[in-house]
Amino acid sequence: MGGYSIEHIRSLVEDARVHRDVYIDPEIFDLEMERIWGRAWIYVGHESQIPNPGDYFITRVGKEPVVMTRGKDGQVHVIYNRCAHKGAKVVERTCGNAQGFRCPYHGWTYKLDGSLQGVPARSGYADTGFDMKDPRFHMQKLAQVDSYRGFVFACQSKDTPDLKTFLGDAAATLDNMADRSPEGELEVAGAPLQYVHDCNWKMWVENLNDAMHPMVAHSSVGDAARRYAAQLPEGTPYPREAEIIFPFGSSYKFFDEMGVTTLPYGHGYMGGEMSIHTEYSEIPGYFEAMVASYGEERAKQILSQNRHNTIFYPSFTAKDAVQAVRVVRPIAVDKTIIETWHFRLKGAPEDMLKRTILYSRLINSNGSMVGPDDWDCYARMQEALVSQSYEWVDMRRGLGKEERLDGKERSFGTSDLSFRNQYRAWLDYMTKDVEDREAA
């Protein structure tokens, strides 16, 4: 790969600003796929998508096509979706159940863990060094695969610390999502909502903890919700739609009080005790089911955690109180697919899932009232950052005002702290490979 020296990459990130090239240069994008998406733990899917032996699901880890499978023994595998022979993509269907896989080109067959099962007319390979047991002739396994509360992550580097270390305190968001089920388990409900964004993946990830934009970018929907609420007769409960949309019109003060917390590896979240989801009305039967499972005190404790968006940098974001996750699939420097997956809380009233899906339709879908506002802002950045007029993107709001505690940093909600934390991680990933190589 060409022109970026380690000094050049370092010069792109300062304490309070980043160079525009990080969003628009295809060469940076390729380096990110190798050094960030090739080193970090990347979210693949949820175990409930492949409940039975032989179940599989295809997706991507960065640029790499992969298959998540469940073996005959129940073990979850993540393997590269590439035939060991001529390199054709082996599995084409998004998901299904199979005894194994067969490449459609020359008919090499593989077991669910990627190991080679057979090749046609094998005698022709006699005395060539070909060995069925040699992993070179298997569909390759990703270097590390692990899951946490059913969320399956894979990592292409064997040098990256284990998943638990990588997740750190961000794991508490996944714990809380699962604990909100009276049975302590989540189950994917249906296919994801997919939304193509004409922007760099980092713009989307940054926006998840950007509390300075809702009152501007989403002002029309906030205004509409307020006008609607104002004309309701005194004492009328808000319909569920209004309850979901209304907080998007909250004040700067509200978001400041929500707070932002950052963690190692670029992770972070807004809220914690309160968020835009705190005031949702109760769904009949849910709290009772939680109390029956956990006892009243523990049930209240679980429901009191309320993180707004948790970023698992770079690939995944989760809302504990809404049971939805959004998955980042970068396609090109200016194209990113965002998938929203919805979860059923096992043992909870079905109405909980209905609210989760309603939330996505209203906020996250391409036909929603909120998501397209964001899409438009990202597309404008992508279009205008090519301008030669100025090279930098600013992120100094709240600089130096953060408090440090136990490896975390905290600040007021509209601080740019989360962006600065993401670029610290970005720089670590983007320069570490080179440093390691130079040290070797």
Q: Which residues lie near Fe ion (CB under 5 A)?
A: 374
Shortest reach from residue 214's CB to Fe ion, in Å: 6
What's the DSSP call for residue 162? Answer: P
Shortest reach from residue 247's CB to Fe ion, in Å: 12
The 116-118 sheet, strands edge to edge: 101-102, 109-110, 116-118
> Looking at beta carbons only, is 224 or 283 nearer to Fe ion?
224
> Looking at beta carbons only, is 248 or 423 nearer to Fe ion?
248
What is the rounded distance in angstroms from the CA atom of residue 98 to the CA atom of residue 59?
A: 17
What is the rounded distance in angstroms from the CA atom of residue 69 to the CA atom of residue 79?
A: 8
Shortest reach from residue 336's CB to Fe ion, in Å: 15
> Looking at beta carbons only, is 9 or 318 nearer to Fe ion?
318
> Looking at beta carbons only, is 26 or 367 nearer to Fe ion?
367
What is the rounded distance in angstroms from the CA atom of residue 29 to the CA atom of residue 334?
A: 9
Shortest reach from residue 208's CB to Fe ion, in Å: 9
> Looking at beta carbons only, is 179 or 374 nearer to Fe ion?
374
Shortest reach from residue 371's CB to Fe ion, in Å: 8
> Looking at beta carbons only, is 209 or 356 nearer to Fe ion?
209
Contact 174, 47 (CB under 8 A): no
Nearest position to Fe ion, beta carbon: 374
Shortest reach from residue 425's CB to Fe ion, in Å: 22
Q: What kind and span of H or E run contains 6?
A: helix 6-10
Buried (b) or exposed (e) across 407-426, using 16+ Cβ within 10 A? ebbbbbbbbbbbbbbbbbbb
What is the rounded distance in angstroms from the CA atom of residue 158 to the CA atom of residue 143?
A: 5
What is the rounded distance in angstroms from the CA atom of residue 21 to the CA atom of residue 116?
A: 43
DSSP 333-363: TTEEEEEEEEEEETTS-HHHHHHHHHHIIII
| Orientation of helix 286-294 relative to helix 296-304, angle to 10° | 120
> Looking at beta carbons only, is 334 or 374 nearer to Fe ion?
374
Shortest reach from residue 207's CB to Fe ion, in Å: 6
**Torsion angles phi and psi, residue 345, rounded to 5:** -85, 110
